[in-house]
Amino acid sequence: MKLAANISPVEAVRFTSPQKKIKNRTKRKKISPCSLGMLNFRRDWKKTVSIVFSLSLGGILLLAVSSLLILQSPEKLARQHFKNGDYKIYMDSDKEHIDLLKQGNPLNEELKQEIQDIDGVEEILVTRKSAGFEATFHGITAHGTCDMITRENRELLVQTVLEGSMPGDNGILLKDNYRDFDGKEKVGETIELSLGEKTIPVTISGFFDGKKTIFASGHGPIGVDGPMMFLPEKLFQELIPDVTNFDYSWDIVCDPDKSEKVGKALENLVVSHTDIGLDTFEDKVDSYGYMNVAYGIMQVISWFIFLFGVINLINTTLSNQYSRRQENSVLRSVGLAPKQLTQMAVWEGMGYVVSSILLMLAIGLPITLLVWRKFSISAYAGQILPYEFPWLQMGVYVVVLVTVEFILSVWTIRRQKKQSLIEQMRAME
C-alpha cells in the first residue's frame, strides 16, 4: 500500500500491465532517395500503367515504322536491280525488235569495246538475251518480251518455278497470272509463238513467279520490258535462224571511286549512238522515292502519338509534384536535403521512362520482326534480309524521354525550394 501511495495519479494512469510478451521485429530496410522515388512510382498502379502504356505506344509504332523505313528504303530496293554496278546499257528503240536484230544488234562488239575503253570500267556482263514475241492462245493474241534461258540464269530461274517444270527444247515458261490470256492457260497446253518471222506451236512447261525474276527486271522507272516468258536457246535459233546476237541488256561493272566519271562517259556514249539506252542506279532510287513519302507520313504520325505520351508524362509529373508539396515539406522538416528531394523525384520519373522502354521492346520488337519478315519476303523476291535496328530514331526516343523527365523533376523541386519551409508548413494548415 505504501508503494502504491507513493505513485502519482498521472503515473498510475500511464501504467498498463502487460498481458503478454510483445515481440519486436526490426526491418533492416535502408531509406534512400531511390527507394522513396520507387515507392512513389508504385503508389497508384492504375495511373502508372496508363502513363507507361501511353509512352510505349508511340515507341512501338515508331520502332515498327522506322524499321520498315530502313527495310524498304529506295536505295535498298533499287540495289536489288543493280547487283553488279550502278549502270546498265540496254536496247531501247521504237523499231520492231526483230528488225533491230536482223539489221544488226546495236549491242555489238564495237560498242562493247568503246565501253571497255572508258577509264574505270572493269567488266561488261550480259544479263539478258531477249526478243519481242507474238503469241496466240484460244484466239487471243498477245505481245511482249521473252528472254533466253542461259547457263547464267538457269539456276536462278529454277527457283522461280511455281507450277510445272523447266522447259525442254520445245517448251516455254510463262509468267504466272499472265493477263493477256485471261489466266486460262494451263501446263501442257499449246500456244502459237512467233518472234517476228515464222510461227510454231510450243508447249507451256510451267509458270514462273514474276516477283522473283529480279535478275531479269525491266529498265526505266516502270520496267515495262521485263520478260513475260522464257525460252530455251534452241527455240530462239529455230524461230530466228539467221540471228546470232540476242544481247538485250549489259551490266557495266566499274571502279566505285570512278563511278561518277563512268556515268558521264556512258551518257555521252548513249547520245552518240542510236537504239540504246542507259539505266542508272540513281534513276531507280528516284523511282522508289514515293516509299519515303509514305513511310515519312507514318513516321510523323508515330511521333505525334509519342508526343501525346510525353504531354501526358509532363502533366502527370507536374500534378504529382504539386499534390505532394505537403509530403515534401514534411520530408524537408525531418532533415531531407533539397538535393535528396530532387533525386527522389528524378528516380520516380526514371521509373516511368525505364518501364515504358522495356514495354516498348517487349511488345514492339516481336511485332516489328514479324512485319519485317513479311515485308522482306514481299519486296525482295522471297529473301529475308537480316533485321536492322533503327538506332537513330529509337535513340532520339530514349533521349527525349530521359531529358523531359529529368528537366521536369529538377524544375518542380527548385520551384518548391523558392518557398520557405515555414510558408509551406503554414499552407498545410
Mean pLDDT for each 10-residue chunk of the chain (429 residues)?
Answer: 45 45 55 72 77 82 86 85 91 89 92 94 94 89 91 91 90 83 81 90 91 85 86 92 92 92 94 92 84 73 76 74 65 66 77 88 93 86 85 87 81 65 53
Q: Within 72-122, where are the H helices?
A: 74-79, 97-103, 109-116
Decide if 374 contacts 64 (C-beta within 8 A): no
207 by DSSP, 3-state: which? strand
Name, in order, each residue with C-beta under 8 angstroms of 25's C-beta and a sequence gap of 6 or more.
none
Residue 2, pLDDT score: 46
Looking at residue 252, its pLDDT comes to: 94
- CB–CB of 363/416 below 8 Å? no
List CB contacts of 338: < 8 A, sequence separation 6 or more: 332, 413, 417
Kindly tell me the burial class for residue 370, based on how many C-beta atoms sit within 10 Å of its own C-beta (0-12, 13-18, 19 or more): exposed
The cell for 321 is 509534384
Cα–Cα distance, 75 to 284 (Å, whole number): 8
Residue 80: partners with Cβ closer than 8 Å, 6 or more residues away? 214, 380, 381
Pairing of strands 247-254, 276-280: unpaired
Cα(41)–Cα(44) distance, integer angstroms: 7
Q: What is the pLDDT of residue 91?
A: 93
| Bridge partners, residue 102, by sequence | none
Q: List residues bridging with 249 in a β-sheet.
A: 90, 128
How many C-beta atoms surround the C-beta of residue 17 within 10 A?
4
Sign of the alpha-carbon dihedral angle for 410, 412, 413, 418? positive
Q: Which grid cell is 152?
A: 547464267
Question: What is the reported pTM?
Answer: 0.71
Distance CA 88, CA 277 (A): 8
What does the pLDDT read at residue 281?
92
Among 249, 210, 251, 248, residue whose Cα is nearest residue 229: 210
Residue type, 73: S
Give phi and psi for 229, each to the nearest 5: -155, 160
Give the SS3 label for residue 146: strand
Distance CA(230)–CA(159), nearest Å, equals 14
Beta-bridged to residue 191, according to DSSP, are 202
Three-class SS of residue 126? strand
Predicted local confidence at residue 137, as pLDDT? 86
Based on C-alpha coordinates, what's the Rg of the chain? 38
| Amino acid occupying residue 26 | T
